[in-house]
């Protein structure tokens, strides 16, 4: 099946990197710090290093696949093309857990933060207001969203820079450990390495967003060059920031069991170094970050649905349609926004439980896709080919699997249920695997 509908190609390398960083939400390091600190017994920086290593292997595999298939669809497209359409569908179904629920997480966080700051306004009002704004920005197109996200990133980086400067000053004045040189945030010889692994399994949530840039391949200028670069840049920038902030946070507050509430540990740490002024600033920055992450995640999710609809694996007349003027998948944007209204009554814990399972499953199959495509089909079997297209992606797949099985039981149970529902739908769609799934015939158009 050929397609004659093309997304508008308008994003530069910097714009795509901004999208990835906005999706990633750089200040998420604060949102997860308290829980991660208790889970890893204070070795949050070490957990972030492990998570960064895993994500770099996977980012490499995403980059290799993006060079071959610079089209919308991300992990779904890669598994479909390299392995087979059945696997591709199930990978697309799994990654939707990530993309569909991240906007909900952002709406919930926005409602929680601002209802706490202004108790007279119920969280449902904040949630609904942000949801409408994010939806309208996405309908107008990724160029407008990219401009908005640039503002978000500037505010985030400025706040993180101020926090780091004040933290260093406070530590040198004797707060916390009183020293800037401390190995315990990375590895404590009195603790087991399994604690770092458990922390990394949780903290990979912070990196979700590096892969979202591949969903914009059809809207990026020179995607074969810029998408792989943006993948590595987003992963490295995010990882560096997470490691530095978590390292300073531990040295500020080394007793990870003394937080009054692990969920709000960041507020205690920020208040310690900057008082009410910095705490209030953090609330404002969080509002911008949540907006940026919700905008980017909604854009990514709508394009994965668009790719599956255009292929006929979801009803094409609805999911594979673009707005005539804005060239955006409006139906998908509105559908996801309607589903996100569930944030009005679902809990943050339940929604967050879905996300990592689908992401890790998709990451595993993107790594496997590299092996299938280059080693099996393209017969890249020289020493260099085996190293680049078998060893590296295999390590990435095994590392992702390692972290997947270390997720909490709620993530594993809820994720497995979602995956089984996908298998049931696939059985219905293919009449028990007797009919072949429709598949898009990729035609290169990267001008």
How much is the pLDDT for 143?
Answer: 65
Residue 421 pLDDT grade (very low, low, confident, very high; cuts 50, 70, 90): very high
Mean pLDDT of 230-237: 93
Confidence check: pLDDT of 1 > 50: no
How many whole angstroms separate alpha carbon 115 and alpha carbon 340? 18
Confidence check: pLDDT of 22 > 50: yes
Whole-angstrom Cα Rg for the chain: 21
How many whole angstroms separate alpha carbon 370 and alpha carbon 390? 8
Mean pLDDT of 30-57: 91
How many whole angstroms separate alpha carbon 245 and alpha carbon 300? 27
Q: Tens of pLDDT along 86-145? A: 898 898 888 777 777 878 888 887 887 777 667 788 889 999 999 999 999 888 876 666
Task: Report DSSP state, residue 11.
Answer: B
Is the pTM above the cut of 0.75? Answer: yes
**Tokens for 151?**
């503002």
How much is the pLDDT for 372?
Answer: 96
Confidence check: pLDDT of 3 > 50: no
Q: Which residue did the predictor score with more confidence, 334 or 9?
A: 334
Q: Phi, psi at residue 262, to the nearest 5°? A: -55, -35
Please state, for a pLDDT cut of 90, what percent of the chain lies above it. Answer: 35
How many whole angstroms separate alpha carbon 287 and alpha carbon 281? 10
How much is the pLDDT for 439?
Answer: 59
Confidence check: pLDDT of 39 > 80: yes
**Tokens for 246?**
């978590």
> Could you give the 3-state DSSP secondary structure of residue 410?
helix
Q: Tens of pLDDT along 322-360? A: 888 878 889 999 999 998 998 888 777 667 667 778 888
- Listed as own residue / partner, the contacts of 98-101 with beta carbons closer than 8 Å and 24 or more positions apart are 98/208, 98/355, 98/358, 98/359, 98/362, 99/212, 99/297, 99/300, 99/301, 99/304, 100/301, 100/336, 100/339, 101/351, 101/352, 101/354, 101/355
Highest mean pLDDT among 28-42, 124-138, 253-267: 124-138
Q: Which residue did the predictor score with more confidence, 378 or 18?
A: 378
Mean pLDDT of 262-269: 78
């Amino acid at each position: 099946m050929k397609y004659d509908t093309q997304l508008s190609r308008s994003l530069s390398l910097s714009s795509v990197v901004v999208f990835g960083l906005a999706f990633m939400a750089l200040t998420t390091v604060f949102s997860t710090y308290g829980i991660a600190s208790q889970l890893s017994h204070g070795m949050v920086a070490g957990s972030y290093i492990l998570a960064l290593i895993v994500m770099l292997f996977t980012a490499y595999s995403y980059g290799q696949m993006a060079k071959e298939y610079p089209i919308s669809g991300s992990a779904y497209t890669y598994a479909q093309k390299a392995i087979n359409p059945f696997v591709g569908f199930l990978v697309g179904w799994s990654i939707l857990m990530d993309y569909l629920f991240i906007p909900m997480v952002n709406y919930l966080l926005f409602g929680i933060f601002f209802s706490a700051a202004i108790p007279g306004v119920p969280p449902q009002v904040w949630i609904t207001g942000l949801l409408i704004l994010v939806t309208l920005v996405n309908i107008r197109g990724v160029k407008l969203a990219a401009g908005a996200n640039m503002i978000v990133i500037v505010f985030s980086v400025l706040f993180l820079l101020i926090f780091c400067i004040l933290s260093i000053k406070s530590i040198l004045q004797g707060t916390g450990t009183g020293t800037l040189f401390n190995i315990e945030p990375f590895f404590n010889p009195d603790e087991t390495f399994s604690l770092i692994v458990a922390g990394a399994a949780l903290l990979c949530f912070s990196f979700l967003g590096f892969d979202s840039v591949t969903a914009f391949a059809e809207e990026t200028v020179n995607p074969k060059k810029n998408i792989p670069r943006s993948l590595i840049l987003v992963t490295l920038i995010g990882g560096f920031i997470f490691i530095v902030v978590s390292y300073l946070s531990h040295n500020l507050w080394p007793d990870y069991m003394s937080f009054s509430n692990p969920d709000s540990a960041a507020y205690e740490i920020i208040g310690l170094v900057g008082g009410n002024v910095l705490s209030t600033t953090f609330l404002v920055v969080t509002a911008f970050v949540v907006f940026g992450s919700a905008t980017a995640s909604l854009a990514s999710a709508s394009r994965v649905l668009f790719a599956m609809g255009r292929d006929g694996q979801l009803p094409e007349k609805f999911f594979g349609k673009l707005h005539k003027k804005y060239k955006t998948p409006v139906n998908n944007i509105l559908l996801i926004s309607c589903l996100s209204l569930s944030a009005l009554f679902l809990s943050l814990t339940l929604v967050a439980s879905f996300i990592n399972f689908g992401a890790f499953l998709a990451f595993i199959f993107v790594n496997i896709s590299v092996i299938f495509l280059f080693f099996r089909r393209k017969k890249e079997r020289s020493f260099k080919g085996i190293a680049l297209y078998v060893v590296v992606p295999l390590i990435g797949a095994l590392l992702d699997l390692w972290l997947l099985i270390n997720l909490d039981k709620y993530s594993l149970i809820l994720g497995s249920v979602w995956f089984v529902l996908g298998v049931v739908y696939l059985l219905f769609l293919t009449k028990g695997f007797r009919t072949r799934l429709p598949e898009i015939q990729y035609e290169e158009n990267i001008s």
